[in-house]
Amino acid sequence: MSTRSEDFAGLNVATITPFKDGKIDFDALQRHVEFQIEAGTTGLCPVGTTGESPTLSHPDHERVIAAVVEAAAGRIKVMAGTGSNSTEEAVHLTQWAAKAGADAALVVAPYYNKPTQEGMFQHYRIVAQSVDIPICVYNIPGRTGKNIEPETIIRMAEVPNITMVKEATGSMDQASQILSATDLTVLSGDDSLTLPLMSMGARGVVSVVGNIVPKDMIALVAAFDAGDVVEARRWHHKLFPLCRDMLGLATNPIPIKAAMKILGRDTGELRMPLTPLSADEEARLRATLANYGLL
């Protein structure tokens, strides 16, 4: 099956932004990029939801994108988060990412101001036409307060460089409508829905748990692509408790950063107003990691 951005099919990791004493830890970020390259990850998505984009300043945003592009050095795709609820800001960030060398832009739906569907379409059209790189429409109404309706996304597919959708609505019907009407590359925006969405034609995932178990997520996607549904299902059931707790214990990225701290891979620092897990929540997370075999 051929979709518009097959080069992003597979595992794309929504990377954390490491902090140390309140500042971005660029050494840790570079180590994380190398970890993902070694695992065989398709692409990295810095400064998205998992990368704490709401609390990064614009200069921070740009520095993280530049650092990931530099560390990647063409060895792995970079789909930089460049969305905003201001079309002007989204254009600026997307143009900056393109100039910095990002391979694509992950553009979240405008949040809080809740534009009409026409406003959604025009926002993405203007952003897409301001650059030459592919645009991934990130639809996550649980965060933004407004769904981009499937009819609107189907209309967006008329814009040549709108090539991907990060599908995080949780609606199988919405995903089915987009997949049946377009050749957009649909990527799951929820780890636990990767296999169900791939069964309908999605081509991979933008993953949170991929920060810690990229090879396992790659194995799930590869098994399904190879036609081994039994093996893909086995990976789905193994990964499910981990996926559930990374998004269910507390708001993302609180649990994934806690997990990386427990595993010795990050300080676990967050930027306010995000706060760490409680002692009880951390104990539950440790049990999940131990049951998975990570501890």
Range of the domain at 112: 6-228
Query: Would 248 be classed as within a structural domain?
Result: no
pLDDT average, residue stretch 102-116: 98
Q: Which residues, at least 6 apart from 88, have a Cβ–Cβ distance to it below 8 Å?
A: none
pLDDT for the residue 243: 96
Query: Would 77 be classed as within a structural domain?
Result: yes
Choosing from 124, 138, 146, 257, the catalytic residue is: 138
Query: Would 260 be classed as within a structural domain?
Result: no
Residue 62, token pair as written in the block: 């740009």
pLDDT average, residue stretch 235-260: 96
Query: Would 177 be classed as within a structural domain?
Result: yes
Residue 207 has pLDDT above 90, yes or no: yes
Choosing from 77, 124, 146, 166, the catalytic residue is: 166
pLDDT average, residue stretch 231-253: 96
pLDDT average, residue stretch 39-68: 97
Query: Would 292 be classed as within a structural domain?
Result: no
pLDDT for the residue 1: 66
Domain tally, the chain:
1
pLDDT average, residue stretch 29-54: 98
Query: Would 287 be classed as within a structural domain?
Result: no
Query: Would 253 be classed as within a structural domain?
Result: no
Residue 36: give its domain's CATH number. Answer: 3.20.20.70
Q: Read off φ and ψ for residue 207, nearest 5 degrees.
A: -110, 145
166 is catalytic: yes
pLDDT in tens, 264-279: 999 999 999 999 999 9
Q: How many Å apart are CA 243 and CA 101, to the nearest integer?
A: 31
138 is catalytic: yes
Q: What is the mean pLDDT of the chain?
A: 97
| Listed residue (35, 52, 79) closest to 268, CA to CA | 52
Query: Would 258 be classed as within a structural domain?
Result: no
Residue 5 has pLDDT above 70, yes or no: yes
